[in-house]
Amino acid sequence: MCKNNVMKVFVMKVAIIGAGTSGLSCAIELERNGIHPVIFERNGFIGEIQPHVSAFLGLITRPASDPIKFMDKILGIKLKPLNQFRKVIHYSPNNQVAVTGHLGYFTIRGMGENDVKNQLRAQVKSQVHFSSFVHPEDLENEFDYVVVADGNWLTPTRYGIWQEIMPTWVKGGIFEGDFEDHTLKMWLDNELTKGVYIYLAPYSKNKAVIAHVVQNIEHEELNDYWHRFLKSREILKKYNMLESWELPHHAGTVTTPRVGKIYFAGAAGGGAEPFLGFGQFNAVVSGVMIARSIAQGTDINLLLKDVNKKSEELKTLRPLMNAATNKDFDRLMTIMKTPGLRTLVYRTDIDIIKLLSTGLKLVSAENKKQASQTKGGK
């Protein structure tokens, strides 16, 4: 208590670097706890210049099998998806398999009011300082805590906490044509992706995005992979391309989500998972959990325990995806056609990591056996 009976209230000063998915989720939860952060955003707007449709895939977000409901009920973050998707078609070079069910959600990414980040922004009262490119070092003296939510591997690399898993380049194209608006298509072809994948996600029945993710290549090589894909799958014969864009994207983990008063959220906190590179869900979870850690003093490692465990499990699939041949993928599709199995893959109560890992190991063992038999037979 001070003179004049006026209570001195300690107001915690928190800076957030990046008005993206994790930064804005963090701001929502901080405000709920009575803390109004100062948000710095390098762009002059919220959202992304490169339009695309992204997915919340139940396979990745489980045990939260319905990520939209989970974010609302458990994290207090409301997001309106573009659509629910009820079918995923997996293509290998010579095979394909379709899985149906409640598999996940499509969300809009771009600049409109339905875009994920603009939806989050509408739930934040604190001011966003636009066109403010900042580093934690610029802010740490002025603030009690700094949350790095810049979606980037560079800051955690500078802090010596980044562990690279999958450096990729992504080429995206927006196409006009006939599409099934509740269907996600995914191509597995290691000659075109080097261990990652290509997906098609629809905006509507007549517009979709195709994103081609290639690992461990130089930027200059990306177009060659893209054109080989377009040609081999006759994409330009079926659809009309309206625009295209290119982006780097790295999946990795961090050795710690906190260095002193600096917290690392979202992709900067190792939130882009190492199997498919999905990171929206983890960005929301880590943003909210960092806010709770700051406001309530709870150990952030404890709050992120489940996310980190899941990431460690998914990490075990990465070497298998990297080493898989196209023949392995063809065989995997056949295995997935086994009655009952394809529904199992997407069921929420099954240990999917174990199942996929066993499937991939089985096909590569079978291939090795066949190769040695062929050699022996010669």
Ligand X SMILES: Cc1cc2nc3c(=O)[nH]c(=O)nc-3n(C[C@H](O)[C@H](O)[C@H](O)COP(=O)(O)OP(=O)(O)OC[C@H]3O[C@@H](n4cnc5c(N)ncnc54)[C@H](O)[C@@H]3O)c2cc1C
Strand ranges, E, within the chain: 14-17, 38-40, 52-57, 83-92, 95-109, 128-129, 145-148, 162-176, 183-187, 198-202, 207-215, 240-254, 258-259, 262-264
Q: Does the protein bind ligand X through residue 152 (CB under 6 A)? A: yes
Please identify, among the stretches 4-12, 47-55, 189-197, 330-338, the one whose residues bind ligand X according to the rule CB under 6 A: 47-55
Q: Minimum Å distance from CB 4 to ligand X?
A: 41
Q: In what order do the strands lie in the sheet with 38-40?
A: 128-129, 38-40, 14-17, 145-148, 262-264, 258-259
- Nearer to ligand X among residue 283 and residue 288 (C-beta): 283
What is the SS3 assignment for 46?
Answer: coil
Q: Does the protein bind ligand X through residue 30 (CB under 6 A)? A: no
What mask of x and - would describe binding to ligand X in positions 102 to 141, judged by CB under 6 A?
A: ------------------------------xxx-------
Cβ pair 335, 355 in contact under 8 A: no
Q: Does the protein bind ligand X through residue 279 (CB under 6 A)? A: yes
> How wide is the angle at C-alpha 43 spanned by C-alphas 38 and 48, nearest 5°?
115
Please identify, among the stretches 40-48, 185-193, 335-343, 362-370, the one whose residues bind ligand X according to the rule CB under 6 A: 40-48
Q: Does the protein bind ligand X through residue 19 (CB under 6 A)? A: yes
Q: Does the protein bind ligand X through residue 83 (CB under 6 A)? A: no
Q: Does the protein bind ligand X through residue 21 (CB under 6 A)? A: yes
- Nearer to ligand X among residue 71 and residue 363 (C-beta): 71
Q: Does the protein bind ligand X through residue 100 (CB under 6 A)? A: no
Q: Minimum Å distance from CB 229 to ligand X?
A: 15
Place of tokens 């899941």: 310
Cβ pair 179, 282 in contact under 8 A: no
Q: Which string of DSSP letters, residue by residue, matches 261-306? A: TEEE-GGGGT-S-TTT---HHHHHHHHHHHHHHHHH---HHHHTHH
Cβ pair 358, 352 in contact under 8 A: no
* Among positions 75, 267, 294, 300, the unique one binding ligand X when judged by CB under 6 A: 267
Q: Minimum Å distance from CB 255 to ligand X?
A: 17
Give the footprint of ligand X on this chain (CB under 6 A): 17-23, 40-43, 52, 54-55, 132-134, 149-152, 170, 172, 211, 247, 249, 266-268, 271-272, 278-281, 283
